[in-house]
Amino acid sequence: MTDHASFIHRLCLDRLTLERGQRRLFCDLTETLSAGEAMALTGANGAGKTSLLRAIAGFLTPASGQVRFEGPGGELEAETARAEGLHLLAHQDGLKTSRTAGEELDFWARWLGGTGQLETAVETFNLRPLLELEVRKLSAGQRRRLALARLLAAPRPLWLLDEPMAPLDTAMRRKLGEVMQAHLADGGMILAAVHDPLPFPTRALHVGAPA
Amino acid sequence: MSAQGGPIAALFRREMSLAFGRGGGPLLACGFYAGVAVLLPLAEGPDPARLASVATGAAFATLALASLLSLERLFERDYEDGALDLLSLGTPGLTVVAAVKCLAQWLATGAPLAVAAPLVAIALGAAPNLAPLIFVASLLAGLGFSFIGGIGAALSLGTRRGGVLVAVIVLPLFTPLVVFGAGAVDAFANGLDWAPALALLGAYCLGACALAPFAMSAACRNAMS
């Protein structure tokens, strides 16, 4: 296993303000997430959880403030950090329905960093029986497992997860909890938008109007 | 899961397999092309001399339109299902994604059309000795069509009626390809020097290949935000 902290060991949000259209989602959000930490992102529907994840991934430009990535040798260039150090798991999983689960996993593992951990990922999420199936034939939970397998197949330090547990069954939720804890133990970082608490201790970040 | 290669090779394989599924892939473009070749003599009348005089021009104009058919979907599906987001998180970056997509589009639809082009031109009455030049010129033009068309496809992301927008953006930029491509073949048919027109066609295509990926990547980023 790689030691993730040797690449990115801190994510800093500096007085971040996000707007969608004319609407201000939140302003002056300042927060840091360090190696080995998980943060649960909470907030009402439409409060800006997904937008915050997309801003960290570089898809949304903040109205003001900035997102910074720090490594052991000081601040990292945001473009490099995003291209090599960040996983995004969103509702739209980018899986092509006409291709088989195996083809899709193999492609994404290669695209995001290599196939060294591919077998581990397949075993962990119990995907072996699904690899030959077309993605269109998978259930929502099976599809989510396939999307999650990318996180393990191509090891990267920072995981941005948008409601990762939603379609999973009880056993898989427990499994994902273990996987996330193992990632943190390796020096990884997790920022997860959730409605139910994660099955291990996390820091909490509430976005939007105070609850 | 035994396939070899790095990220770019993997992307290329994925794009080829998707290009063949995208909107019918090469069959749709070639079918459209054949349809025009069949309808043109019916509309123009059966006079062989008249058909022969428009054969190469019609072949190239139809080539441009046929290559428009599947362009609209070049980025759209990846944009809608979130794959474009994830593609931008890979080490090679969106510029490489755009270039690989256009290259795969060219091989999957441009190359089959380039094979069909001489056949259509000859069927319409062009001299058979023009066939090699028509093939080369349409292969080159196809490369330009897919890279320039990619700009239109990327710019129209997230709009309704994207196909109309692609056509409006892209067709003016297609004109030099049609002019030089048909011009080279015409010059050869009339015993004139055809090399300059073919060279200009090649230069335009290379320029498009070099610059278009940056434009596509910027347009995709804009659509993603």
Residue A120 lies in a domain: no
In this complex, the residue of A88, A92, A98 whose CB is nearest that of residue B89 is A88
ipTM of the complex: 0.89
Give the integer Cα–Cα distance in Å for B60 and A27: 56
| Contact pairs from chain A to chain B, CB under 8 Å | 84
Average pLDDT over residues B31-40: 86
Give the integer Cα–Cα distance in Å for A113 and A171: 28
Q: What domain range is A192 assigned to? A: 4-96+158-206
Give the domain CATH number at A19. 3.40.50.300
- B87 touching A, CB under 8 A? yes
Closest CA to B29 of B93, B85, B105, B95: B105
Contact check, Cβ <8 Å, A112/B85 = no
**Quick one: closest CA in A to B93, which residue?**
A83
Cβ proximity of A95 and A104 under 8 Å: yes
- Give counts: helices (H), strands (E), chain B: 10, 0
Give the integer Cα–Cα distance in Å for A145 and B3: 22
Q: How far off is chain B from A100, nearest CA to CA, in Å?
A: 11
Q: How far off is chain B from A120, nearest CA to CA, in Å?
A: 14
pLDDT at A210 over 70: no
Q: How far off is chain A from B77, nearest CA to CA, in Å?
A: 9
Cβ proximity of B41 and B58 under 8 Å: no
Residue B55 Cα to chain centre, angstroms: 20
Q: What is the pLDDT of residue A2?
A: 52
pLDDT at B1 over 60: no
Cβ proximity of B174 and B64 under 8 Å: yes
Closest CA to B198 of B142, B139, B137: B137
Chain B residues lying within 8 Å of A112, measured CB to CB? 7, 86, 89-90
pLDDT at A195 over 80: yes
Give the integer Cα–Cα distance in Å for B82 and B104: 20
Contact check, Cβ <8 Å, B11/A84 = no
Higher pLDDT, B96 or B54: B96
- B96 touching A, CB under 8 A? no
Residue A117 lies in a domain: no
Residues B42-64: pLDDT tens digits?
A: 887 778 888 888 888 888 888 88
Q: How many residues does chain B have?
A: 225
Q: How many CB atoms lie within 10 A of CB B128?
A: 9
3-state secondary structure of A61: coil
Domain residue ranges of chain B, discontinuous segments joined by + = 7-224
Q: Fill in the DSSP letter of residue B23.
A: G
Indicate the angle between helix axes A101-112 and B7-21, nearest 10 degrees: 140
Q: What is the pLDDT of residue B151?
A: 94
Q: What is the pLDDT of residue B152?
A: 92
**Quick one: closest CA in A to B12, which residue?**
A107
**Quick one: closest CA in B to A78, which residue?**
B89
Cβ proximity of B120 and B32 under 8 Å: no
Residue A142 lies in a domain: no
Higher pLDDT, B207 or A78: B207
Give the integer Cα–Cα distance in Å for A171 and A37: 24
Count the domains in chain A. Answer: 1
Closest CA to B69 of B38, B17, B31: B31
pLDDT at B145 over 90: yes
Contact check, Cβ <8 Å, B83/A96 = yes
**Quick one: closest CA in A to B89, which residue?**
A83
Q: Which residues contact A80 (CB under 8 A, 6 or more apart)?
A: none
Contact check, Cβ <8 Å, A86/B91 = no
Contact check, Cβ <8 Å, B80/A87 = no
